[in-house]
Structure 1
């Protein structure tokens, strides 16, 4: 599927840095997508590589950029990250652009410099919901039919008697149940999906829970290529070192964020932190170590515990030297 999307010129630059473009052709628009598009520039065309990463609306930007529907919380995260030691490990952020009266966060398309890349999304941490979501669910419960349908599609016996009667479940109940099926609770991360070069997306990892299952999936993703594994392992170790010293990381609850893995046939590899829509700044008196087990109220997310496990798994997949 090819998408043609270009802008003719910048028509306005506001004092706060918001750009407005005049489009010169009809853009390809994908509203309300649950499967994300990461767009690769290839032979002057945009090849859509679909992987479970973000929820939102996307446009293809010019000059190797991607436009994601504006979220103020995510914007604030990127602004801070551009001043933090984590900057090399996140997409470069280029401000807010406006299209059809809708604001978008503009960031680098991380696939631009890869040749027919393979991509994988790993959701990090021991939970994917904010503590405030639990509070809201208790105070203003809103059972959802779509969550119920997702649950029974995986396990028809999972809903309670009350949930079956309502044909609906709370979003937080679904998310907590969903996490018990995967390696989120056992390893602190889970594979959301991957796409190897010239293949369809693989997203059937809802029940990938044990170390052995995760290793099998990772080995499939890299086609047993130890050069690729070494590249990923080096990058993850660098990331861990920077995370442990990052002021941003210590002062934020990082929930629902992913690591994007990218490699291609040349042996080039890259790993970046993405998706900060749920990342929340902490009160000034609170700092996280991201390894302490979560208990409601402590705001811990298990991100570093998951990264430790991921690094350990990759290390054990490599031959001893």
Structure 2
């Protein structure tokens, strides 16, 4: 898997180049055909668009501008898992692609990838040399061996557009023309956080082990009644259709991901072990259908009339 890092993928000089190019207009049209939120005018059609306009469109129609990384491409057993124009616009999209890529990886391989990425992040953060470089268009390559459960790794690649910056960079700030910030470390940190939580989603869930406790506008809270040690004392927040609809089109893309990210980013740094951010878990339609049938028997009728569980949701 090739993951391009940074909050921008264009050079600083691109922003000040006024030249319009018809070929970039055609690329923008192609981006729109793949579902991108692209706005073009008749003048653009006649004269073309600037490289800056196109690069901004491409970044804004991916997770580059929000998460600081985008999945540029992924292969598993010779099959392509993502496309450069449609590799994901939300965190939920990224999670689904990452999950598909890691489906054959062993727990050790998943941990090895995360550990290696964290080592890269720590080394780059501490490097005086790295602080003086502008890193544009660089990626990390994630690889694991489908036959040997012990072989996996991550590497920094693509440095063709890396070069000295006019001043020290923190690689975490958003880009404003003239500050040369690239967001490389911000994106790498976001990728590590998602991969780390994704490695913990493989919890065996039995719909018979969850019972109705309470609910609000957005979710139903189910309590655990089974015997699995890792689930003792836990509750499962089950998203309703009203909630998942509201989060479509947002950076998170799903209420469970939004909640987990919010707690991780704001509450945990301030309250530490006093906060349990929980984890996003994988669910199947079959699991959700059985749970929904059981929950509806215990739910107040006015709640049932308001909204149903989103049985198609892959996360909870």
TM-score normalised per structure 1 = 0.57
Determine which of 119, 126, 145 is the counterpart of 2:22: 145
1:272–1:208 Cα change, 3 Å? same
| Unaligned runs of at least 5 residues, structure 1 | 1-119
Alignment of 1:192-211 (within 5 A): 192-200=72-80, 202-203=82-83, 205-206=85-86, 208-211=88-91
The match for 1:128 is 9
| RMSD between aligned residues | 1.9
Moved runs in structure 1, 4+ residues, more than 4 A? none
The match for 1:275 is 158
Indicate the SS of the match to 1:272. Answer: strand
1:160–1:227 Cα change, 3 Å? farther
1:144–1:201 Cα change, 3 Å? farther
1:261–1:303 Cα change, 3 Å? same
- 1:261 to 2:142 alignment: yes
Q: Please report how far the alpha carbon of residue 302 of structure 1 lies from its aligned counterpart in structure 2 after TM superposition.
A: 0.5
The match for 1:160 is 41
Matches of 1:165 and 1:124, distance apart in 2: 33
Q: Please report how far the alpha carbon of residue 165 of structure 1 lies from its aligned counterpart in structure 2 after TM superposition.
A: 2.4
Matches of 1:307 and 1:199, distance apart in 2: 25
Maintained 8 Å contact 1:193/1:205:
no
- 1:299 to 2:180 alignment: yes
Q: Would you say how many aligned residue pairs link Structure 1 and Structure 2?
A: 195
Query: After superposition, what is the alpha-carbon deviation per residue over 1:177-235, rounded to whole angstroms, capped at 9, x for unaligned?
Result: 00000000110000010111232463255361211110000011111633332111010
TM-score normalised per structure 2 = 0.58
Q: Please report how far the alpha carbon of residue 148 of structure 1 lies from its aligned counterpart in structure 2 after TM superposition.
A: 1.4
Matches of 2:100 and 2:84, distance apart in 1: 13
Maintained 8 Å contact 2:11/2:136:
yes
Higher Rg of the two aligned structures: 2
Alignment of 1:1-321 (within 5 A): 120-135=1-16, 137-138=17-18, 141=19, 143-155=20-32, 158-166=39-47, 168-200=48-80, 202-203=82-83, 205-206=85-86, 208-223=88-103, 225=105, 226-265=107-146, 266-267=148-149, 268-283=151-166, 286-319=167-200
Higher-helix-fraction structure = 2
Matches of 1:179 and 1:185, distance apart in 2: 6
Indicate the SS of the match to 1:123. Answer: strand
